[in-house]
């Protein structure tokens, strides 16, 4: 698994120059303040030049300052409490228009995710769902709605969909007791990561099931257990998470499955429409 920026800094800290140690200390101790600063502003914060900050990022292995900055932001999202998140969001938006800031940020996350998404991984993830004897789907806390949206839509077109409720770790294992090499687990977890989902992914992997993981990066604790890793950019929207990017991929998966199985799915919905009409599932207006 990839190393997060805090560990990278600790690994080389004794060899750093005095100026670089100032930056390192700011990242390790005040990452919530440093995460959204430009190189110039971060330099001013610790009394070093902008060029010193850029060289520090390069020394850590980041080709661009923007990559370094995203790594620091990762610390924010994985470690801050809800109240700390609210404070950071307030600092970022300031007196600006909240609606514009949040929507523009969401648009940017979707575009960034699309640009970075490996299309082969996307296609193989769809294959894993289509070929599965049983499709297990799970997510906890803020990602539970994502998992339920996928589970609901797939349950309309398949009879082998099982939503794994994350009520407790023991119940997760009980619901997945029979998972095996012919099955696929689709799991969602973004910072702050759910230990229940990590355990579910690990359990499925150990039982030779295919595991499709939706998470934010390769340093996610779920990544090492993934057969197919789908990374999508998430971020803080106050104390809550912005998960529009992974939701867009969920939508794309359902559409791709519909295209591949169109004839069978059309026949299924013809039958479902008769049931919905007979039992007044939807209003007539």
Q: Which residues of 175-202 are buried (b: 16+ CB within 10 A; e: fewer)?
A: bbeebeeebbbbbbbbbbbbebbbbbbe
Can you give the pTM of this predicted structure?
Answer: 0.71
pLDDT, position 1: 39
Residue 200 pLDDT? 95
pLDDT, tens digit, for every residue of 78-136? 665 656 556 666 666 666 677 887 888 788 889 889 998 999 999 999 999 999 999 99
The answer, yes or no, to whether residue 203 has pLDDT greater than 90, is: yes
pLDDT at 108: 83
Q: What is the 3-state secondary structure (H, E, C) of 101-136?
A: HHHHHHHHHHHHHHHHCCHHHHHHHHHHHHHCCCEE
Q: Closest Cα partner for 154 from 176, 181, 184, 193? A: 184
The residues spanned by each domain of the chain are 1-79, 114-277
Q: Residue 157 has what pLDDT? A: 93
pLDDT in tens, 226-284: 999 999 988 655 556 789 999 999 999 999 999 999 999 999 999 999 999 988 888 87
pLDDT digits (tens, 9 = 90+) for 14-49: 999 999 999 999 888 887 788 888 999 999 999 999
CB atoms within 10 A of CB 231: 22
What's the pLDDT score for residue 97? 75
CATH class of this structure's domain 1-79: mainly alpha
pLDDT in tens, 157-182: 999 999 999 877 788 889 999 999 99
CATH code linked to domain 114-277: 3.40.50.10490
Structure tokens at 101: 């800031």
Distance from C-alpha of 39 to C-alpha of 34, rounded to nearest angstrom: 10
pLDDT (0 to 100) of residue 104:
80
% of the chain beyond a pLDDT of 90: 61
Q: Model confidence over 49-64: pLDDT tens digits?
A: 999 999 999 999 999 9
């Amino acid at each position: 698994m990839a190393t997060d920026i805090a560990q990278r800094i600790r690994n080389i800290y004794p060899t750093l120059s005095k100026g670089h140690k100032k930056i390192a200390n700011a990242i390790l101790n005040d990452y919530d303040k440093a995460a959204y600063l430009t190189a110039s502003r971060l330099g001013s914060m610790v009394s070093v030049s902008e060029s010193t900050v850029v060289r520090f990022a390069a020394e850590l292995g980041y080709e661009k300052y923007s990559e370094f900055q995203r790594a620091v932001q990762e610390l924010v999202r994985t470690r801050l409490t809800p109240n700390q998140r609210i404070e950071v969001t307030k600092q970022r938006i300031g007196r600006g228009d909240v609606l514009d800031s949040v929507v523009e940020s969401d648009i940017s996350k979707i575009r960034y995710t699309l640009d970075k998404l490996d299309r082969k991984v996307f296609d193989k993830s769809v294959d894993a769902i289509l070929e599965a004897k049983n499709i297990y789907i799970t997510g906890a806390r803020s990602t539970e709605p994502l998992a339920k949206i996928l589970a609901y839509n797939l349950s309309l077109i398949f009879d082998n969909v099982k939503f794994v409720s994350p009520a407790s770790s023991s119940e997760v294992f009980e619901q997945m007791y029979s998972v095996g090499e012919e099955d696929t687990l689709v799991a969602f977890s973004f910072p702050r990561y759910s230990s229940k989902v990590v355990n579910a992914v690990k359990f499925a992997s150990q039982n030779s099931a295919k595991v499709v993981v939706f998470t934010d990066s390769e340093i996610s604790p779920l990544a090492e257990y993934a057969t197919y890793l789908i990374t999508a950019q998430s971020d803080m929207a106050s104390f809550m998470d912005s998960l529009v990017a992974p939701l867009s991929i969920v939508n794309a998966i359902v559409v791709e499955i519909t295209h591949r199985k169109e004839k069978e799915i059309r026949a299924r919905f013809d039958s479902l429409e008769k049931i919905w009409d007979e039992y007044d599932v939807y209003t007539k207006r």
